[in-house]
Amino acid sequence: MVRGGLHHLEIWVADLDGAVRSFGWLLAELGWAQEGSWPVGRSWRYGETYLVLEAGPDVADGGHERLRPGLNHLAFHAGSRDEVDRLVAGCGDHGWRLMFPDRHPYAGGPQHYAAYLEDESGFEVELVAEDPAEQR
């Protein structure tokens, strides 16, 4: 346990099957292991951190909108630039679309190699490549 580290993240979704299709694939590709499954939710673990997708009866109608107050996106360390590119190549088959394709992979700036993906429910993730200079 690391004091101040993220313990868990719970994301409420309107469509559990759709969220599992997109997030489940991506989390598995990033090394997360599915840990739990129940009628209205799923969970994955990476080290001491876990992530929950839940579509229980308390989820309000209206869907996710990343531009409203609240969660804008999740950012993951995604490995090398080649690994980021591999994830982008496969994302369309798993419910994700590449955002900002005209600026990819530098939509976050000229020194920031990353992919910005949005799933069918409007959730955004950022896949950040390792900085080659940090690997020396």
Question: What does the domain layout of the chain look like in residue ranges?
Answer: 8-56+71-135
Q: Where are the beta strands (DSSP E) in the chain?
A: 8-12, 33-38, 41-46, 49-54, 73-77, 96-98, 114-119, 124-128
The CATH number of the structural domain formed by 8-56+71-135 is: 3.10.180.10
pLDDT at 123 over 90: yes
| Higher-pLDDT residue of 63, 49 | 49
Contact 135, 79 (CB under 8 A): no
**pTM for the whole thing?**
0.91
Closest CA to 96 of 76, 79, 70, 69: 76
What's the pLDDT score for residue 64? Answer: 85
pLDDT in tens, 100-113: 999 999 999 999 99
Distance CA 97, CA 18 (A): 14
Q: At residue 133, what is the residue type?
A: A
Residues of the chain above pLDDT 70, percent: 96
